[in-house]
Structure 1
Amino acid sequence: MVNLIIEIYKNLGMFLGLTFHNEVLWIVFPLLISTVIMLFYFEKYRDEDPGWNTYVANSLVLFFVAIILLRFIYRINNSGIVNYGLYPVRTVFSFIILIISIMLLFFNFQHFLPEKIARAVSSPLTVNLVAYIAIIYVFSDSENTFSVFSALLLIFILLIVILNLIKIPLEEMFINLKKSKEKEEVDKILKEKKRIEKAKKELKKEGKKKMNYIKKQEKKIKNNHLKKASEKEKQTKKLKKAIKKK
């Protein structure tokens, strides 16, 4: 049992070290970047539905990885197709990945699976992790032992745990950001409401001033008319008196 644990530990180190191998890194690095970006994206937009087109695209990622694995086996020692017989387990493993990717592609293209299941099996996290495990296994020169597959399974589980743990602070961060934005929006609305109310009061006040001015002008005009009418009446009376005297 102790020897098995030691072997698993050694294989863990070997596989993780292989990740930084020049040829492997060129394949793994884009997977890592896409996984991190999509992790951030879906934590930020939790209510957003990825859609079937995203599931199809993720299936294609696994398909292309399977092709890369088969090409790698083909090119080992420049032996060509013979390598598929020399490395039967890796070849079968690569073909299994290829078949799974084609099945996923077909199911997602046809909307065959319930969307919840399709979302789970075709998520960037699932697809990219499976692709990563497949890459480090096929690119390694390890023997096909229980400790090797145990190490691969352990890496898969550890990565799932780590990525899900990363989700916790991300979720908290984006929730706080959302609340902060909502508060800003509420503050903006309240400020705008106050501005509108102030403008209404000013308009009302201005309206009252105008009404008072109009009333004053009307009163002034009315008084002028009355004054003129009174003067005319006086002049008329004077004329009448003058006519009577004559």
Structure 2
Amino acid sequence: MSAAPSAAPSAAPPRRSIAETMAELRAAGKPSHHAPLYSRWVNRPLGRRLAAVAARVGLTPDQVTAVSGVVTFAGIGLVAAARPTPLVGVVAALLLVTGYALDSADGQLARLRGGGTLTGEWLDHMIDCAKGAAVHLAVLVSFYRFAEPAGPALLVLPAAFGLVTTVVFFGTVLTDQLRRGAGAGATAEPGPRSAARSFLTAPADHGLLCVAFALFGWLPAFLVAYAVLLLGTTAYLAAGLVRWRRQLAALDAAR
């Protein structure tokens, strides 16, 4: 008895083009109305393009996160190890900017694929926390090794920036987790003040810090930019402490 003819294999679904993937990423992306200026207008659009490329070549969100970490820490290592020159500054800035864009791409890719995982979110946050502290440690090491003169006042600058950055990161993540545990939704709705808020929070954007390293070969100019970003981030933290506590106090009162 002859065997029954086998069914014809189904055709593989056509691969989406970069443009089609970009359109899906725009539809699946989280709102950016209140994101800081650089993240809103530069980093997320750049991350969207990188996420589309990653989807095209078949990378997973965790793999994009890992690449982001490698690129970012290559830039941080360059800052700590190499004597500051205009070329070193530009290369470090490019590495940091690319790493930050990939940090946006992994989340966008996860949403495109239907949502992320707990391990993926954990990996992303661990790398974010490490890079936020390490970049300022690298600046401190560079100042100590290469700046003339490397006095205590100069070294306090990156030490203070690292402290402020760590508290901002921890406060943001902790408040978000406490709000999720209390079943609270988003706190901010899109509105006419969103563009103004993007400008006001711009100095606290990690992306602008990445760009500032293009000045690393010109110490006076870099110090001015670095100090301005430190002051802006400190102001953001001060406002955040008030806002976070008020949000949590409202949830306590509603219980």
Asked if these proteins are the same fold (TM beyond 0.5), I'd say no
TM-score, normalising length from structure 1? 0.34
Structure with more of its chain in helix, by fraction: 1
TM-score, normalising length from structure 2? 0.34
Larger Rg: 1
